[in-house]
Amino acid sequence: MKYSEKHDRYIDSDYVVYRMNSKGKLVQCKLSFNNAGYLQTSSNLTGVITLHRLIWETFNGEIPDNMCIDHINTVKTDNRIENLRCVSYSENMRNPLTTEHLRNSKVGEKNPRFGKKLSQKSIDAIRRSHSGVPMSDFGKKFKEHYGIGYSQNEALYKREHWWFKKYGKCRWES
């Protein structure tokens, strides 16, 4: 059994969370689901914490800034340490199973990865972000070529970006 001093919680080998009651006995913590579909518990020291973050911090230490905990198999309730990894937010969205879930998403259908119904606009935006081309790639190339950014010539930027999306390369690279 591992103890998390930061959250004052104990976790056993089956990833069940316990706390010490006022009589000095270990009792199992109550779990609930948050709005995003993740299991969570509360701690007197730190307030509400999601179970996957609690387990990661207990077994591996602090989560660095700008990093998150990814469920490798995309099942939000599978909080085994071998199913968790510490990644950046962009790496989390590039999880191959996440991409597969998004490809199979239909408008108005509850998506198992995100735990909510998605609009067509949301699905399109997420699919664009998973197209394989880094989101910032075009903006960087545009600025290098023209020496200006989006805000300085919005119309030119949109025309060039349309070309980039259609052909996968900038017009001046043709």
User: pLDDT by residue (tens digit) across 107-122?
Assistant: 566 655 555 666 666 6
The token duo for 152 is: 């300085």
The token duo for 82 is: 């071998």
Model pLDDT for residues 138-155, shown as the tens digit of each residue = 777 888 888 887 778 888
Per-residue pLDDT band for 100 (boundaries 50, 70, 90) equals: low
* Domain shared by 89 and 9, yes or no: yes
Q: Return the residue matching tokens 């198992």.
A: 112
pLDDT at residue 39 is higher than 60: yes
d(CA 166, CA 160): 10
Q: What pLDDT score was predicted for residue 131?
A: 47
In a domain, 52, yes or no: yes
Question: Percent of the chain scored above 90 by pLDDT?
Answer: 4
pTM listed for this prediction: 0.57
Domain tally, the chain: 2
Domain that holds residue 79: 2-93
* Residue that terminates a domain, selected from 93, 115, 149: 93
